Structure 1
Amino acid sequence: MCRNIHTLHNFEPAANDDEVHAAALQYVRKISGTTTPSKANTDTFTQAVEEIAHVTRHLLDDLVAVAPPKDRAVEAEKAKARSVARFG
């Protein structure tokens, strides 16, 4: 369920709002134990996602990196190579 949460800090270009929202959604899904909330919990679920996305955006904006920004394409290739090595 959490495999879609990726490192968002220190990339060029910086993480966009969709990536931050997707990470927040996956986090709330993991914590709540459900991918789709019941009708009774939809508002609470949605509010939690919005709040976590908001806090995540502040965190990413405030973090200081000493290393040069990573390239998304290079990191994707590394992940693909790891997957091939692991699963053949």
Structure 2
Amino acid sequence: MCRNIKTLFNFEPPATELEIRDASLQFVRKLSGFAVPSQANEAAFERAVEEVAAAARTLIAGLVTNAPPKDREVEARKARERSGRRFGGG
């Protein structure tokens, strides 16, 4: 799994279209092995990003939970703390 793909479900405020697209782009990059596709592959690459983003929106909209929404700032702080412990920077 790409470490750059973040959890998008059950956050307040909800995931933005840009966050969904960015996660979809990272996923397609990982699958294809291309950071930037060639002109010959650009249309297929972009179509895949849009299809993955559509599937992600459908998934997020269909999921349910009884857990309270997570706070973005709190989760970001926890991630920084984990990173600091892991890499010794904080």
TM-score bin (small chain): over 0.9
**Structure 1: which 4+ aligned runs deviate by more than 4 Å?**
none
Higher helix share: 1
* Separation (CA, whole Å) in 2 of partners of 1:36 and 1:68: 38
- Identity within the alignment, %: 58
Q: TM-score with structure 1 length normalisation?
A: 0.96
Superposition CA RMSD, Å: 1.1
Deviations 1:47-79 (A, max 9, x none): 000011011001101100111000000000000
* Separation (CA, whole Å) in 2 of partners of 1:65 and 1:18: 23
1:3 to partner: Cα distance? 2.2
* Separation (CA, whole Å) in 2 of partners of 1:19 and 1:67: 22
* Separation (CA, whole Å) in 2 of partners of 1:6 and 1:14: 13
1:40 to partner: Cα distance? 0.3
What are structure 1's unaligned runs of at least 5 residues? Answer: none
- Report the count of equivalent residues: 88
Question: Secondary structure, in 3 states, of the residue corresponding to 1:74?
Answer: helix
